Structure 1
Amino acid sequence: MIYITLVCNMGMSTSMLMNKMRKSAEERSLGVDIVAMADSNLPSSDRHTDILLLGPQLSFMLEGFKERYKDKIPYITVVNQMDYGMMNGEKVLDDALAMMN
Structure 2
Amino acid sequence: MKSMNILLVCAGGMSTSILMKKLQQYRDEHGATGQIKAVGLSAYEDVYQDYDVILMGPQVAYRQSEVQTATGLPVAAIPPLDYAVGDSAHIFELAASLVQ
Fold match by TM threshold 0.5: yes
1:86 aligns with 2:85: yes
Structure 1 Cα separation of the partners of residues 29 and 17 of structure 2: 18
RMSD, aligned CA: 1.4
Q: Report the TM-score, using the length of structure 1 for normalisation.
A: 0.87
Q: Which residue of 1 aligns with 2:99?
A: 100
8 A contact 1:6–1:18 mirrored in 2: yes
Structure 1 Cα separation of the partners of residues 13 and 90 of structure 2: 19
> How far did 1:67 drift?
1.1
SS in 2 for 1:45: helix
Structure 1 Cα separation of the partners of residues 66 and 30 of structure 2: 34
The 5 A counterparts of 1:3-42 are 3-42=5-44
Structure 1 Cα separation of the partners of residues 48 and 77 of structure 2: 21
Deviation above 6 Å: which 4+ runs of structure 1?
none
Q: Mind listing any 5+ residue stretches in structure 2 that lack a counterpart?
A: none
> How far did 1:99 drift?
2.0
The 5 A counterparts of 1:53-92 are 53-70=55-72, 73=73, 75-92=74-91
Aligned length: 98
8 A contact 1:17–1:84 mirrored in 2: yes
Q: Mind listing any 5+ residue stretches in structure 1 that lack a counterpart?
A: none
Q: Report the TM-score, using the length of structure 2 for normalisation.
A: 0.88
